Amino acid sequence: MLRKRGQVGMEYLIIVSFITFVIISMVVVSYYYIDSSKKRMNDNQIESLGKSIVNSAESVFYEGAPSQIIITVYIPKGVQSIQVTDYALIINSSSTAGVSTRAFISKVKLNSVSGILATEGTHNLLIKASSDRVFIENA
Domain count, the chain: 1
The DSSP letter of residue 96 is: T
Q: Is 53 exposed, middle or buried (0-12, 13-18, 19+ CB in 10 A)?
A: buried
> Distance (Å, rounded) from C-alpha 120 to C-alpha 58?
25
pLDDT at 110 exceeding the cut of 70 = yes
Residue 5 pLDDT level (bands cut at 50, 70, 90): low
Number of neighbours of residue 68 by Cβ within 10 angstroms: 15
Looking at residue 113, its pLDDT comes to: 86
Residue 4 pLDDT level (bands cut at 50, 70, 90): low
One-letter identity of residue 48 = S
Lowest-confidence segment of 2-16, 42-56, 103-117, 118-132 by average pLDDT: 2-16
Range of the domain at 96: 2-138
> Distance (Å, rounded) from C-alpha 74 to C-alpha 102?
16
> Distance (Å, rounded) from C-alpha 112 to C-alpha 23?
53
Mean pLDDT of 33-51: 93
pLDDT at 22 exceeding the cut of 70 = yes
What percent of the chain has pLDDT above 90? Answer: 78
Residue from 112, 95, 113, 106 nearest 44 by CA = 95
116 Cβ partners below 8 Å, 6+ apart?
82, 84, 123, 125, 136, 137, 138
Distances (CA, A) of 43 to 11, 85, 99: 48, 21, 12
pLDDT at 2 exceeding the cut of 90 = no
